Amino acid sequence: MSQVLTPGATPLADLERIWHRQGAARLDPAARAPVEAAARMVAEAAAGGQAVYGVNTGFGKLASVKIAADDTEALQRNLILSHCCGVGEALDPATTRLMMALKLLSLGRGASGVRWQTVALIEGMLAAGVTPVVPDQGSVGASGDLAPLAHMAAAMIGAGEAELDGVSMPAQEALNTVGLAPIVLGPKEGLALINGTQFSTACALVGLWGAWRNLEAAVVTGALSTDAIMGSTAPLVPAIHALRGHRGQIDFAAAQRALLDGSEIRESHRDGDTRVQDPYCIRCQPQVMGATMDILRFAAHTLEVEANAVTDNPLVLVEDGRIVSGGNFHAEPVGFAADQIAMAVSEIGAIAQRRVALMVDPTLSFDLPPFLTPDPGLNSGLMIAEVTTAALMSENKHLANPCTTDSTPTSANQEDHVSMAAHAARRLARMNRNLNTILGVEAMCAVQGIEFRAPLTTSAPLQRAAACLRASVAPIGQDRFLAPDISAASGLVAAGDLALAAGVELAP
């Protein structure tokens, strides 16, 4: 079923469905009138004698070169072909299709000057499963994501490559197979297609959604770890968090209170426990994780605005009767959002890794066996699994360094400040995979630790989470080849299964 997109008012939930299901998308029919009104203005400008950037001039540093009316089609085609300079791995099809849907949203605002048939071709490609092959490197995130979007546009004119039914082939062949015809670009259309932040925004959104799933999993793994080391629930008391007032902190504490309610393990040490306070990785979970929740919500707002924005240049201001050059293609907001997501992902992993270290250390784990093995010495248990989490935590810390603070002049100094939003957003996939593993290993350690507390049991929600893990990862007795277990546990985190089993669903 095709997802109807309302330009300027499409929520992230609708975009996530397109990405997750790789479904079709189309603009609300009401968008057609403003799109066509802008296209008429561009056609008139192209036929006139006044120089209008991108319509009848060259591009970038060559903007002062006037282009004859007879050459406007060649101008747009040359723009696309010359800008297909992407390198690296192909962007995955789901994210590429999300990028195409975002381009629809931008064009649908009626300020880009493209014809409706250009919009219809993108819709048709999404419906028929024709996905351009887009290399994932080459954008600096200003003057738009030029190289990656050029590869998308190239497929629309029958150049470059596209994927159909999982097979890469010449784009012309893919279009022919499904009965679509490549488009001959009209005035400004090539520029409208490649100017914009849709590549960076798509990658950032996928990173945001992955980070949120990791956050929900961390609520569960953190609660499991708290019970495994017989931690206190006193730091979750509502009054503590109300006094500080941060929404994320309040929400996180409430979620963990619900998860730990009814735990026999917790009730067993309310009295007579000689420990006064737990380490910060247990006690300060609401403060740390709540802060990451708040920053992810802030990034989500930024990206929702950007997803609905017009980000090409020049813009066709129909009501003013003007075509005006600006700078909406500069992806600084996306870069900042991606940097914020990266910091949140890094911190979720940093505090989770300390809980893993806590559980495998017999001097800190409150009587759990060393490295959570029933026969330490002969067996190493989860010793090196913890080392793996330390490696991934450190890697994420390095990857979390901001990208938007870097800039380099390009295009003969015409584009002298750039956002670096593209690789700020691209790194999030790698960081989320690392975090999937850190949290997966934490779940393995915590469930193993809870089982050592038998006959005492944890709460009902956490028992369901433990059962979810145990369906894929058996208890660790004698040492065995652990890589498949770690992969399985990481997969449960990535898919959201662990959080689902425990009934955790945080409101964005």
Tell me which residue of 236, 203, 207 sits closest to 219, measured CA to CA: 236
DSSP structure string for 89-101: EEPPHHHHHHHHH
Q: Which amino acid is at 200?
A: S
* Burial of residue 358, with CB atoms counted within 10 A of its CB: 0-12 exposed, 13-18 middle, 19 or more buried: buried
**437/103 Cα distance (integer angstroms):** 33
Output the CA–CA distances (angstroms, integers) from residue 483 to 211, 360, 384, 437, 479, in the order listed. Answer: 23, 18, 11, 11, 12
CB 343, CB 334: distance < 8 Å: no
Tell me which residue of 249, 193, 260 sits closest to 223, measured CA to CA: 260
Catalytic residue among 12, 26, 53, 216: 53
The continuous run of DSSP H or E covering 87 comes out as: strand 87-90
CB 141, CB 135: distance < 8 Å: no
Output the CA–CA distances (angstroms, integers) from residue 448 to 445, 466, 468, in the order listed. Answer: 5, 9, 13
Looking only at the bridges linking them, the beta strands covering 25-27 and 167-170 are unpaired
Is 53 part of the annotated catalytic residue set? yes
**187/232 Cα distance (integer angstroms):** 67
List active site positions: 53
